Amino acid sequence: MFNKSVIALSILLASGCSSIVSDSKYLVAIDSTPSQASFYIKNRAGVTVQNGETPETLTLNASAGFFKGETYQLVFNKEGYEEQIIELKSSVDGWYFGNILFGGLIGMLIVDPATGAMYKLPEKATAELTENKQESKKSLTIAMLNSIPKQQQAQLVPLTE
């Protein structure tokens, strides 16, 4: 009986609270308005880790290393719209502070930081794309030569075959 109690206590002290209750990877819903925008995701090191088309749900790591939360840059593109860049940052998981009661210093200073379970990511990232004004203003105007002011007529260039 004593051996079982010691083993159970050792497991409890050797694990972190976030490692027990949370995870180090999270599902993140990626979306845009309008939808069907292509996107790619770079981590804090500048490495492209995912790409796709909205809407999509992906699994991303919340940690970038020991005591280092991950920060992602999401770049959205759609024809006729301006490129949109948003930042997705991890934050400390509330369960990490459960180590004060359950995981102790080992969980707080070693286990949860090493496993990445001390961090969490938002559930979704949404980009609001705006129309590209320059592309939408392209147009062709046909006018009679006598309706154009003389100053502008002097700037016209004849088209030849």
Residue 151 within a domain: no
What pLDDT sits at residue 10?
A: 46
Residue 144 within a domain: no
Long-range contacts of 134-140 (CB under 8 A, 24+ apart): 135/80, 136/80
Residue 148 within a domain: no
Q: Model confidence over 95-149: pLDDT tens digits?
A: 656 666 665 666 656 666 667 677 888 999 999 999 987 654 556 678 888 888 8
Angstrom distance (rounded) from CA 128 to CA 126: 7
Residue 159 within a domain: no
Domain that holds residue 76: 2-132
What pLDDT sits at residue 149?
A: 83
Number of domains in the chain: 1
Residue 88 within a domain: yes
Q: Model confidence over 21-69: pLDDT tens digits?
A: 556 688 999 999 999 999 999 999 999 999 999 999 999 988 777 778 8
Residue 79 within a domain: yes
The dihedrals phi and psi of 76, each to the nearest 5 degrees, come to: -110, 140
Residue 149 within a domain: no
Cross-strand pairs, 52: 39
User: Tell me, what CATH number does 32's domain have?
Assistant: 2.60.40.10
Residue 65: left (phi > 0), alpha (psi -120 to 50), or beta?
Answer: left
Q: Model confidence over 57-92: pLDDT tens digits?
A: 999 988 777 778 888 999 999 999 999 999 999 878
> Judging by DSSP bridges, how do beta strands 124-128 and 25-33 pair with one another?
parallel
Residue 125 within a domain: yes
The pTM for the full model equals 0.64
